[in-house]
């Protein structure tokens, strides 16, 4: 089952993530984050009833993925990344779109996620997809130099008529 793409002249396609993809996803996660996730954890997320994910596949290679989970009617994007060489071609946007579509198809009311306040690329991506800041977690992340960075909690409603984001979150 294809979940979207390819777009423009790109060759990538968005497909559901499978538990068997976990080792490749872990390698990609390691290349994209300072705090890498093990294949075992990724496989566990995909293996639980509320877990779901999607991969961007360029020919035979997975070049990006997103992992999500649902609980009590709400969804959460746990992680999302695109390999360096494939960025700025719309793959991140397509993964977010697919996550929103799948969450909606599962009957979820909204998607939440956490993003580092200083992650301009991710914040641009999520703002572009309709996410809005609804909270802040002080010092939630610690970068490689040990410096604490706040996380913003972002929310995207999948139903109409939901209240707007809290307005006093500085962005």
Shortest Å, Cβ 161 to ligand COA? 26
Give residues in contact with ligand COA (CB under 6 A): 32, 80-82, 87-93, 115, 119-122, 124-125, 128
Q: What is the DSSP string of 81-126?
A: EE-GGGTTSSHHHHHHHHHHHHHHHTT-SEEEEEEETT-HHHHHHH
Tokens of 160: 């109409």
User: How remote is the C-alpha of 120 from its chain's centroid?
Assistant: 15
* Residue 94 vs 102, nearer CB to ligand COA: 94
Partners of 30 in the β-ladder: none
Pairing of strands 61-71, 74-82: antiparallel
Shortest Å, Cβ 15 to ligand COA? 16
* Residue 8 vs 161, nearer CB to ligand COA: 8
Q: Which residue is nearest to ligand COA (CB)?
A: 92
Shortest Å, Cβ 154 to ligand COA? 9
* Residue 46 vs 91, nearer CB to ligand COA: 91
Tokens of 68: 């999500």
* Residue 119 vs 157, nearer CB to ligand COA: 119
């Amino acid at each position: 089952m294809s979940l979207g793409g390819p777009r423009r002249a790109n060759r990538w396609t968005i497909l559901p993530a499978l538990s068997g993809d976990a080792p490749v996803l872990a390698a990609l996660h390691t290349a994209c984050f300072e705090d890498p996730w093990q294949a075992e954890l990724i496989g566990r997320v995909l293996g639980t009833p509320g877990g779901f994910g999607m991969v961007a596949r360029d020919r035979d290679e997975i070049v990006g993925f997103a992992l999500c989970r649902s609980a009590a009617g709400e969804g959460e994007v746990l992680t999302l990344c695109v390999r360096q060489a494939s960025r700025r071609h719309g793959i991140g946007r397509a993964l977010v779109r697919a996550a929103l579509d799948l969450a909606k198809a599962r009957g979820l009311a909204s998607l939440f996620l956490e993003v580092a306040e200083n992650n301009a690329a991710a914040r641009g991506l999520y703002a572009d997809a309709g996410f809005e800041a609804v909270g802040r977690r002080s010092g939630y992340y610690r970068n490689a130099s040990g410096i604490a960075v706040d996380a913003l909690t972002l929310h995207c409603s999948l139903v109409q008529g939901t209240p707007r984001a809290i307005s006093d979150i500085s962005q």
